[in-house]
C-alpha cells in the first residue's frame, strides 16, 4: 500500500492548459483608450492612469509554510528545526532559510494574521485570487484581471496581465470571470514567447502593414453589430500578438548580465523572476510569477530546505533591484500562497493545509516598509490579533495602488458590483 496515496496530486495544483479563447462573459464595461472604460469617473480614471501603478504578484503554489518563512516559532512544540534570524529591521525575525530576504526587510511589510476559509487547492487557489466577494451569482475576476480592467495596459501597449509560469502557456481567459476574455492572463510557458512570433519571410513589412489595416477595417465592421466584449476580445488578441512581435527582445534571456543570472539564480524560479522584472521595466501593468511544488505533506523540512533558498534568492534580488531603480515607488509586490501549513507535524513528517493562521509579504507602493502586522499565538495555531480574510487584503491592495474599493464598482451588464468584499475593510496598519 502506498502511504502517500491520500496526498494531493500535481494536477490539483495546476491550472488547466491549452485553452482557446472562449465566449465572452456578460459585462457592460466598455474599454476606453487607456482601458479604464466606464467603471470610474473620468477625472479618477485620468488620475490613476497618470500614476502608472504596477503589480508584481508572486504566487507560491501549493502552500508555503509560515513556520519556515515569515513567522518562525523556534523552540516550540510545532516550530520545527530551523532558527529565527534577525533582519535589517531591529526586532523583526524571519526563518533562517531566508538570509538574503532578511537583508531586505526594511523594504517589506509582513502580514502574520491571515485567517481564510478553504483548505483545498481546488477551492483555495480561486478563492484567494478572486478575493472571495459575497456570492453575487457571477464569477469574479482574479486580481490580475481586475487590475487589467481597472487600470488598463498603460502607454506600453503590452498585455496588461501576463503570467510567467512553468509548463505550457496560452491565453487563460477563465481568470477574467464576468469581465470577459479580454482581461484574461497571457501566460508565457517557461517564460518563452508564444509560438509563430516571426513574420513569414514571404510577407514583406509593407504587406504586413497593409494586412493589419485591412483587419482594422474588417474588425470595425464586425464590431458594429455585435456586443462590445466579443469584438474587443477578438481585436485585443490580434493587437497583443502584433505588439509582442515587435517586442521580441523581452524574451531574450541572453540580454541578462551574468551578474543578474547569479543573483537571481539559474534555477527555473530565478529565470522567471528575471523575466518578470524585465516585463515590469517594459511597462506591463500586472506580472504574475509562479513557483510550483510547495505542497509538503511529506518531508516538509527537507522540502523547504530545498525550496526556500530558491525563493529567497530570486525574491530578495527583485526587491533589491526594484528599490535601486526607483520602481518600488510605483510597483506593489505581493508574495503569497493559497494557505499556510499546519502547526502539527503529520505521520509523514510533513505539514498539511492550514488556512487558519498564515502569512504573506508585501513591498512597494502604498504600503509601509519594515513592518510586521498581526501576530499568531506562541505555538502558531491561531491568530492573536484581528484575523484578516482575503477580502481584507483585496481592499488593502486596491488602496495601495490608489483605487478606493468603497467608491469603485464593476458594471456587469448594468448591474453595479463591488470590487472587493463589502463586509471587509483595508488593513490600515500596513498602508502608508
Q: Are 69 and 97 in contact (CB under 8 A)?
A: yes
Q: Are 283 and 312 in contact (CB under 8 A)?
A: no
pTM, two decimal places? 0.83
Structural domains present in the chain: 19-64+76-195+247-430 (3.40.720)
Question: Which residues in 62-184 belong to E strands, given as ranges?
Answer: 84-86, 93-95, 108-114, 161-165, 170-172
How many whole angstroms separate alpha carbon 367 and alpha carbon 369?
A: 6
At 169, list the grid cell. Answer: 502557456
pLDDT for the residue numbered 316: 98
pLDDT for the residue numbered 14: 38
CA 88 from chain centre, in angstroms, equals 26
pLDDT for the residue numbered 235: 67
Q: What string of DSSP letters covers 251-265?
A: G-GGGS-HHHHHHH-
Q: Going by C-beta distance under 8 Å and a sequence separation of 6 or more, which residues neighbour residue 117?
A: 127, 132, 355, 389
Report residue 53: phi and psi, to 5°.
-70, 150
Q: What pLDDT tens digit does each residue of the chain (432 aa) get?
A: 444 334 454 444 433 333 323 333 333 333 333 333 334 444 444 544 445 899 999 999 999 999 999 999 999 999 999 999 999 999 999 999 999 999 999 999 999 999 998 999 988 999 999 998 888 889 999 999 999 999 988 888 899 999 999 999 988 999 999 998 889 999 999 998 876 666 676 776 777 667 767 776 777 777 677 666 666 666 666 677 777 777 778 888 888 999 999 999 999 999 999 999 999 999 999 999 999 999 999 999 999 999 999 999 999 999 999 999 999 999 999 999 999 999 999 999 999 999 999 999 999 999 999 999 999 999 999 999 999 999 999 999 999 999 999 999 998 988 999 999 999 999 999 999
pLDDT for the residue numbered 226: 67
At 302, list the grid cell. Answer: 527537507
140: left (phi over 0), alpha (psi -120 to 50) or beta: beta
How many whole angstroms separate alpha carbon 187 and alpha carbon 190?
A: 9
pLDDT for the residue numbered 112: 98
Q: Are 63 and 294 in contact (CB under 8 A)?
A: yes
Task: Using the structure block, give the residue that is written with the C-alpha cell 469584438.
Answer: 231
Amino acid at each position: 500500500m502506498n502511504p502517500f496515496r491520500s496526498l494531493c496530486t500535481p494536477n490539483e495544483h495546476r491550472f488547466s492548459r491549452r485553452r482557446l479563447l472562449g465566449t465572452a462573459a456578460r459585462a457592460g464595461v466598455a474599454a476606453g483608450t487607456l482601458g479604464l472604460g466606464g467603471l470610474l469617473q473620468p477625472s479618477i480614471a485620468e488620475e490613476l492612469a497618470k500614476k502608472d501603478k504596477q503589480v508584481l504578484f508572486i504566487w507560491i503554489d501549493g502552500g508555503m509554510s509560515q513556520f519556515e518563512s515569515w513567522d518562525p516559532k523556534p523552540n516550540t512544540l510545532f516550530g520545527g528545526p530551523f532558527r529565527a534570524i534577525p533582519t535589517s529591521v531591529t526586532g523583526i525575525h524571519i526563518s533562517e532559510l531566508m538570509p538574503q530576504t532578511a537583508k531586505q526587510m526594511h523594504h517589506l511589510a509582513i502580514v502574520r494574521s491571515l485567517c481564510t476559509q478553504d483548505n483545498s487547492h481546488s477551492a483555495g487557489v480561486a478563492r484567494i485570487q478572486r478575493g472571495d466577494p459575497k456570492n453575487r451569482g457571477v464569477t469574479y475576476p482574479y486580481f490580475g484581471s481586475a487590475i487589467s480592467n481597472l487600470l488598463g495596459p498603460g502607454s506600453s501597449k503590452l498585455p496588461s496581465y501576463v503570467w510567467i509560469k512553468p509548463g505550457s502557456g496560452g491565453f487563460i481567459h477563465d481568470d477574467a470571470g464576468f469581465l470577459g476574455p479580454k482581461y484574461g492572463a497571457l501566460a508565457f510557458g517557461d517564460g518563452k514567447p508564444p509560438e509563430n512570433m516571426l513574420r513569414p519571410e514571404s510577407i514583406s513589412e509593407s504587406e504586413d502593414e497593409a494586412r493589419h489595416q485591412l483587419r482594422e477595417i474588417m474588425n470595425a465592421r464586425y464590431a458594429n453589430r455585435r456586443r462590445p466584449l466579443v469584438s474587443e476580445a477578438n481585436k485585443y488578441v490580434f493587437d497583443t500578438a502584433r505588439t509582442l512581435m515587435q517586442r521580441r527582445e523581452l524574451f531574450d534571456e541572453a540580454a541578462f548580465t551574468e551578474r543578474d543570472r547569479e543573483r537571481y539564480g539559474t534555477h527555473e524560479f530565478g529565470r522567471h523572476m528575471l523575466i518578470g522584472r524585465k516585463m515590469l521595466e517594459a511597462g506591463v501593468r500586472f506580472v504574475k510569477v509562479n513557483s510550483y511544488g510547495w505542497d509538503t505533506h511529506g518531508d516538509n523540512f527537507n522540502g523547504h530546505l530545498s525550496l526556500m533558498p530558491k525563493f529567497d534568492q530570486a525574491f530578495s534580488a527583485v526587491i533589491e533591484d526594484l528599490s535601486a531603480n526607483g520602481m518600488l515607488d510605483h510597483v506593489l509586490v505581493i508574495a503569497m500562497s493559497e494557505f499556510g501549513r499546519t502547526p502539527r507535524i503529520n505521520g509523514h513528517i510533513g505539514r498539511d493545509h492550514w488556512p487558519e493562521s498564515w502569512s504573506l509579504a508585501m513591498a512597494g507602493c502604498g504600503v509601509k516598509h519594515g513592518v510586521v502586522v498581526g501576530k499568531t499565538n506562541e505555538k502558531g495555531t491561531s491568530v492573536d490579533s484581528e484575523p484578516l480574510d482575503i477580502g481584507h487584503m483585496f481592499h488593502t491592495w486596491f488602496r495601495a495602488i490608489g483605487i478606493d474599493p468603497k467608491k469603485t464598482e464593476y458594471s456587469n451588464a448594468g448591474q453595479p458590483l463591488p470590487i472587493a468584499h463589502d463586509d471587509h475593510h483595508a488593513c490600515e496598519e500596513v498602508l502608508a
